[in-house]
């Protein structure tokens, strides 16, 4: 059955300062082929027929002025982690019944086709949440996806916390998710900033789901470049080259 995207909301995380971009611009406002990075991600939402909610932080006025009424907005005035960013959207989405997709504003190569595949898999597996993943030849530094025997997700383990056996796993977490919206905001109540960074990690919601024995699924993308985030000038250059090959101009 075709997915009705009117029952889907999309949150785009765009509050990062992007210090490693060697600029005081919000990271997602750096230009790729004359368009800010966030513009590409908002276009994915628009291709799905969804008006996204964009979480902005410092200098968020630049993002708002560019996107205008193409999006709704939530403010993350303190950088307290990805879970905290999603918490800022709760007042706007608390009565929403349907799927909530979480995207990063710095993944400009993502396509609507891949998002349709992710959301379809979420429905087909009857999961509480579904993760877009990828196999990396060198997954060093990335969170690993540890699966149960039936293919569902057992946990996400960060590289620094992984055992030697877990570090051999090539499947990594892209940070792109779809959730049952009501269960997402319920799960956020159970996460804490009791970690080295003193931040609320969105990935802790998955731990809560798994503790409750609720199904979390994952689907691997066959187009690894789509989940590439831009955190440095060098990574932006890499994305430029991939986009040139994709578009031929």
Q: Are 127 and 215 in contact (CB under 8 A)?
A: yes
Domain count for the chain, please give it.
1
Tokens of 129: 């949440």
pLDDT, tens digit, 9 for 90 and up, residues 131-163: 999 999 999 888 999 999 999 999 998 888 889
Specify if 204 maps to a domain. yes
Rounded Cα distance between 75 and 56, Å, is 5
Query: Is the residue at 167 inside a domain?
Result: no
Residue 222 forms part of a structural domain = yes
Q: Does any domain span residue 36? A: yes
In sequence order, what are the beta bridge partners of 32? 35
Tokens representing 196 are: 């080295």
Active centre residues (catalytic): 20
The verdict on residue 97 lying in a domain is: yes
Q: Find the domain containing 72 and state its range.
A: 7-133+173-247
pTM tops 0.75: yes
Distances (CA, A) of 126 to 1, 30, 189, 216, 224: 14, 38, 23, 9, 25
- pLDDT of amino acid 188: 95
Q: With bands split at pLDDT 50, 70 and 90, how would you rate the model's confidence at 2?
A: low
CATH number of the domain that residue 102 is part of: 3.90.550.10
Residue 152 resides in a domain:
no
> For residue 149, is it within any domain?
no
Tell me the pLDDT tens digit for each residue of 188-217.
999 998 887 788 999 999 999 999 999 999
Q: Nearest-5° angle of CA 215, CA 217, CA 223?
A: 170
Q: Is position 220 within any domain?
A: yes
Query: What single DSSP character describes residue 81?
Result: -
Task: Give the model confidence (pLDDT) of 75-109 as tens digits.
Answer: 998 889 999 999 999 988 877 889 999 999 999 99
For residue 1, pLDDT beyond 60: no
């Amino acid at each position: 059955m075709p997915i009705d995207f009117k029952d889907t909301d999309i949150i785009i995380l765009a509050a990062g300062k992007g210090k490693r971009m060697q600029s005081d611009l919000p990271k997602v406002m750096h230009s790729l082929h004359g368009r800010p990075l966030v513009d590409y991600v908002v276009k994915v939402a628009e291709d799905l027929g969804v008006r996204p909610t964009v979480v902005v932080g410092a200098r968020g006025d630049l993002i708002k002025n560019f996107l205008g009424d193409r999006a709704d907005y939530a403010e993350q005035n303190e950088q307290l982690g990805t879970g905290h960013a999603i918490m800022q959207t709760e007042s706007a989405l608390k009565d929403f019944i349907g799927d909530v997709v979480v995207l990063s504003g710095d993944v400009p190569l993502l396509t609507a086709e891949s998002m349709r595949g992710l959301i379809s898999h979420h429905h087909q597996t009857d999961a509480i949440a579904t993760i877009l993943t990828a196999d990396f030849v060198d997954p060093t530094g990335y969170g690993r996806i540890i699966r149960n025997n039936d293919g569902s997700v057992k946990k996400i383990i960060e590289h620094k916390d992984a055992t030697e056996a877990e570090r051999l796993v090539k499947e990594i977490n892209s940070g792109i998710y779809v959730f049952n919206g009501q269960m997402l905001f319920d799960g956020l109540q159970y996460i804490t900033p009791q970690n080295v960074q003193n931040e609320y990690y969105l990935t802790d919601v998955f731990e809560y789901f798994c503790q409750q024995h609720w199904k979390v699924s994952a689907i691997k993308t066959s187009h690894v470049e789509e989940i590439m985030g831009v955190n440095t000038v060098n990574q932006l250059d890499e994305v430029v080259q991939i986009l040139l090959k994709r578009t031929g101009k």
